Amino acid sequence: MEIKDKVFIVTGGASGLGEGTARMLAERGAHVVIADMQAEKGEAVARDINGSFVKCDVTSEDDGKAVVAKAVSIGKLMGLVNCAGIAPAEKTVGKNGAHSLTLFSKVVQVNLIGSFNMIRLAAEAMAANAPEPTGERGVMISTASVAAYDGQIGQAAYAASKGGIVGMTLPIARDLARNGIRNMTIAPGIFGTPMLFGMPKEVQEALAAGVPFPSRLGTPDDYAKLACHIIENDMLNGEVIRLDGAIRLAPR
């Protein structure tokens, strides 16, 4: 698939992995619709890349439909990159008692159900596309995490939400195969994003040192380069790719 002149939706595109992906897609000639709750930052990024911004809660059907409608109004919607997510930490039983059920539900709602909400709505629109020369009508990329496999202490909710994304990757790809729509997932390791930069400097350095090679934090560009390759390589479908420098997380 050629990226140039196509329309792509990037959820969570106002910062972190989503912003890096939105910027790289725009550099390659795409029109990007940024879907995010951070209106001021999202609008600023959209202006920088000559894209569009739609304020969106990914768990909302109405918000998701508004994002897809905006994308379709611009041109041929050919891609969705799901980067919106949250990562609170809480133990199953901690100092204050049992894990908050409300918090667990919220993490699953945003990370897992929000990703599926955007996939199903974008896929419906893509199914109406005229096929590319390759026969494809679109591609989905969602963001899991190495925590789906190596969840650490305090990550029960986060790991469950990301494990759900891993688990639905292949069945969604199979569902959409007849429509010529691919579905992929990236599972990043330790990346330098606003969530991680909120941690103390010494914690960030310790995490980076734990990556076998390269011994550094991943960057939004690392993620964006893989996302662009997935878009362009039509044999990539129904798979989860760990992007982690060979790290395997310890319990804490």
Residues identified as active-site? 158
DSSP 213: S
36 phi/psi in degrees, rounded to 5 = -160, 160
Alpha-carbon distance of 97 to 94, in angstroms, equals: 5
Helices then strands, counting H and E runs in the chain, come out as 10, 9
CB 23 within 8 A of CB 13: no
CB atoms within 10 A of CB 102: 8
- Cα distances from 72 to residues 19, 75, 121, 122, 153, in angstroms, run 21, 5, 12, 10, 42
CB-based contacts of 56, cutoff 8 Å, min separation 6: 11, 35, 36, 37, 63, 64, 66, 67, 84
